[in-house]
Amino acid sequence: MKSTGSQGPRDFEPHERLKADTWPLGASQESLLLLMNNALVPWLILVPMTRELELHRLEPERRRRIRDEMDLVCDFLEREYRPHKLNIATLGNLVPQLHIHLICRYRQDVYWPAPVWGRQERRDYQTEEVEHLLERVRQELGQTFGS
């Protein structure tokens, strides 16, 4: 995980692959918010701070709070990026840790209409791009993902 100065709770660590492939954007009481390091599509990942591997196995109130965070982040992505479609997925083939992909898709993106997973086409974010997005997240989602 690249460094932007954002820290999550000290006793929770994202999976090594998530650390390698993302930039941290913030943390809430429930989740870490990460940016997938592929600037070809806006792609955030919400990582609930739990050892549980499946969303449906969380206690209902916790699941509701995480769902509320998902909705908040999805609203942000729609306002910020105006995607044609917002893809939401909880895959776990390579990263078994519970994490939720929130991906903006466009009819003209390089992956359309196929999935974004496992493709060669990619572009790493430049530090300035991440800093700009981090500032937008602080402005729009800081009350929830401010830690």
Residues 15-38: tens digit of each pLDDT: 999 999 999 999 999 999 999 999
Residues 6 or more apart in contact with residue 56 via CB below 8 angstroms: 63
Residues 86-127: tens digit of each pLDDT: 999 999 889 999 999 999 999 999 999 999 998 999 999 999
Report pLDDT for 3.
44
Domains of the chain: 16-133 (3.30.428.10)
CA nearest neighbour of 140 among 46, 65, 73 = 73
Residues 6 or more apart in contact with residue 131 via CB below 8 angstroms: 4
Q: For residues 46 and 66, is the Cβ–Cβ distance under 8 A?
A: yes
CA pair distance 45, 104, nearest whole angstrom: 12
| pTM, full prediction | 0.92
Distance from the first to the final alpha carbon of the chain = 17
Handedness of CA 117, 119, 122, 124 (dihedral sign): positive
Q: For residues 49 and 9, is the Cβ–Cβ distance under 8 A?
A: yes
What CA dihedral angle connects 7, 35, 104 and 123, to 10 degrees? Answer: 170
Q: C-alpha angle 129/132/138, rounded to 5°?
A: 140
Report pLDDT for 104.
98
